[in-house]
Amino acid sequence: MLTYYSAIIMCVMIAMAINWLMASRNTVFTQEKRAAFSKVSILIAVSAFAEWVTYQAEAVRNIPFTVISNLIYFVLAPLAAYFLGSAIGKPWRMKVAMVPYFIYLPVLFLSPFLHCIFYVDETGVYHRGSLYWAYLLIYLCGMLYLIIESTYIMKSYRYNGNLLLISIIGFEIVGVMVQIVSPEVKLGWETTALTMLLYYSFYNEVCSQKDPVTRLLSRVVYDRDIMKLKNTGTFIMIEFPDIQKHNDSRGKIAVDAELALIGKGMSAAFDQVGFCYRVSGARFCAIIDGTETLAEHLIAAFRAQMDEARELEEFRHLPELHIGYAGWDCSQDVNAALVRAGQMNGRL
């Protein structure tokens, strides 16, 4: 007969299978992000199954099987947050964040003998060890790491979702704490599965802030940011001339590759001092925190990247881009500066 706990684990595994399908077919994510979310879905399903196996092994007093399944569970369970963070963040931060985990591993593998994280008594019953708190600490470190990486990505994508992120992570932590205080409730993996689905939805919303072709911020973000400008700076407007003619003569795939190149070049040239947007099909804008003199230097660097790319066979037909710029300050009409930048003649 199917027990309540077994039904929960089965639902968790089905939910993660669905999440794996959604992530693997997501057209907003990059290939690396799709792979990362798919791996975490599998990891959660395997971890939940490992915990279920420990209960079954304990029920039949199989000591070796109980020990092995608990080791698998305690190795895999904290990794979901670390894997999600590594998928969206910088590799060096991942290495730093994983240091406590690698310290935790030898303590874990000594647990069956020294009763550190857990142990199984001579009757085959699982018990928490004297250092069980180390497992909780590693789990919380993973959550903190995920919050940090998510904060960085929200800033990069100009997405104001701090309260939403804290609510999702808080939901997971509350579920885990309830499971620790009252193990008989068996709420842990149900909470984790829901958290994964919520975070997937949250990250999908964050990624939708960027244009899928150029990986620049979208027109929606541009319109929102323009209305909130308060400081001084410079607009840089870039246009791909006669884009429809190029689409008709060379094909959309070739032109999309060139648009992606422009987006990559703009990010490299302007992201350190501002934000880059795809305003329409053929128009782009960078809003930088600097003077027109700085804009001229950055435009020269961007132009050099485009000239270098034209030496490649793939981009030899990339046309000269129309570029204009104009500074503004808080006492001036922002729209007037945008018009000046858009109307500037010449090709820089």
- pLDDT (tens digit, 9 = 90+) per residue, 184-200? 777 788 888 999 999 99
**Residue 83: band (very low, low, confident or very high) from pLDDT cuts 50, 70, 90:** confident
Cα dihedral 34, 35, 41, 43, rounded to 10, equals -160
Confidence at residue 68, expressed as pLDDT on a 0 to 100 scale: 87
Confidence class for position 347, pLDDT limits 50, 70, 90 = very low
Quote the percentage of the chain above a pLDDT of 90: 28
Say if residue 277's pLDDT is above 90.
yes
- Summarised one tens digit per residue, pLDDT across range 317-332 is 888 888 988 888 766 6
pLDDT in tens, 56-82: 877 777 788 888 888 888 898 888 889
Give me the half-sphere count of Cα atoms (radius 13 Å) on the Cβ side of residue 184.
0
Q: What is the mean pLDDT of the chain?
A: 86
Query: Which has the minimum average pLDDT: 111-120, 191-200, 262-271, 337-346?
Result: 337-346
Which pLDDT does position 331 carry in this prediction? 65
Report the pLDDT value the prediction gives residue 330, as an integer from 0 to 100.
Answer: 67
Which fold would CATH assign to domain 219-343? Alpha-Beta Plaits (3.30.70)
DSSP β-bridge partners for residue 120 = 126
Instruction: Band the pLDDT of 346: cuts 50, 70, 90.
Output: very low
Does residue 16 carry a pLDDT above 90? Answer: yes
**Amino acid 107: pLDDT:** 94
Check pLDDT > 60 for residue 99: yes
Helix 188-207 to helix 162-181 angle (10° resolution) is: 170
345 band by pLDDT with thresholds 50, 70 and 90: very low
pLDDT at position 6, please?
86
How does pLDDT run across 212-233, given as a tens digit for each residue? 888 899 888 888 888 887 778 8
> Radius of gyration (Cα) for the chain, nearest Å?
26
Q: Domain ranges in the chain?
A: 4-207, 219-343
Helix (H, G, I), strand (E, B) or coil at 347: coil
Average pLDDT over residues 287-291: 87
| Structure letter (DSSP) for residue 233 | E
pTM of the full predicted structure? 0.78
How many other C-beta atoms can be found within 10 angstroms of the C-beta atom of residue 121? 11
Q: Which two tokens stand for residue 21?
A: 């399908």
Mean pLDDT of 36-54: 88
CB 201 within 8 A of CB 208: no
Strands (E) across the chain are located at: 118-120, 126-128, 233-239, 274-278, 283-288, 322-328
The 10 Å CB-count burial string (b at 16+, else e) for 140-165 is ebbbebbbebbeebbebbbbebeebb
- Over residues 145-169, the pLDDT tens digits come to 999 999 988 888 888 888 999 999 8
Residues 158 and 274 sit within 8 Å (Cβ to Cβ): no
DSSP state of 217: B
> Which CATH number is associated with domain 4-207?
1.20.1070
